[in-house]
Structure 1
Amino acid sequence: MTFSQKSINKVGMLDEALARIDNGCTLMFGGFGGVGNPPTLINGLIEKEIKDLTLIGNDAGFPNIGIGKLISQGRAKKLIASHIGSNPVAGKLMVEGKLEVEFSPQGTLAERIRAGGVGLPAIVTDIGIGSVMEEGKAKVLLNAKEYLLETALTADVSIVYAKKSDCFGNLIYDTSARNTNPLVAMAGSFTIAEVEEIVPLGDLNPHEIVTPGVFVDLVIESKGVDWKWAWE
């Protein structure tokens, strides 16, 4: 069976993407310290005045870069992340009780997202045993060793950033901007990819594709990043 390019075209506009994200939804985002955050989508959410979000991602970004802009403006009610140290506004909001923060070790967080993406309900890990990380969590005994049961993470919508996409949503990432994006792309009920360049179907080298288009529901073109200068 063959498909026409038109029949599998996932390319859309920013307004179409923003219509998928409502107040109070669970939003998972790719990126590490702002690098790999999808800036056009984040700026669009700010302009749309979306609020009461539950955010899931590696960190809180910086106050004025990437996902940090949403957090700093008080648009999130909860954040699940590995750290918030790069965004002092997030720390202030947490201390004031205006932002609930669930910390998860970085590797554990990545595995919880991966598990959600492949349909597993939870993972087990010995990271956090004997520390505050085990409080309130179930434990299991495997081969005479104790592990924490960490629940998988999924989201209503996942937003990711990539260098290139074709009309089917196959994604290629740019060096370190790849970071958590491939895992996040798998774990959303609806996944939106913001990309630097959209190419015709067949132009991507299959060996370079990281995220298969089957995980992507909508592709929009980026208007440019706001985080590269911070790492130059």
Structure 2
Amino acid sequence: MEKTKPIFLLTCEHAGNEVPKKYLALFKGQEDALFSHKAFDPGALRLARHLAAALKLPLYVTSVSRLLVEANRSLDSDELFSDFSKSLSEKDKKEVLDKYYFPHRQEVEKQIRKVTAAGKQVCHLAIHTFTPVLDGEVRKADIGILYDPKRPLEKAIAQHLRQHLKEQNPSRRVLYNSPYPGTDDGFPTYLRGKFTKYQYAGFELEINQKFFLDGREEVWQQVVDELTAALQQTLKGT
């Protein structure tokens, strides 16, 4: 494939906590779960929309709660349906997948195929946030760059992005493959199986929710500004 500048696109798999009316009964008496980090990624949609506007990039979003169906997991994953939705009949599960799982993933894959068919590379940034503490363990990262170290384009872009983030704020803890390994089951991992390392580079950008949940707008905005500036430099240099 001819060496060209990658085409960047954004996705947000945990943008909201929406549950269609038909399935609300699954959460009866436990509605609070829909407002927890287990249901969606607080701040992720707001960040994704800001980046899409600032960087003039296409954004693909799914806002149905991950507690109904997990858009960032493969069909064979035990986490595809949560403890709330695993009790659905096979017919209802198929309906959920057809309406709220496949459309997002198929739309993104279709766009990538369109770009790669034209001989260009795609750089996919999936925007996520993560809870500061999980199972009593405090997460170390402020920003996590999740990628596959075995794919040269991903490794190079990850290094550039981290460098530019550290230039924006040397004290910011920017870690590779934290709080999760970049090769774990996720949408980018699925897409790596569909496209070669010369066609596709996939990342999950994980931002610590502590900045969003702090309550002070300036704290969150500083992180957003740093990430925006770092991505602008990364796009220019890639």
TM-score norm. by structure 1 comes to 0.31
Q: Which has the higher helix share?
A: 2
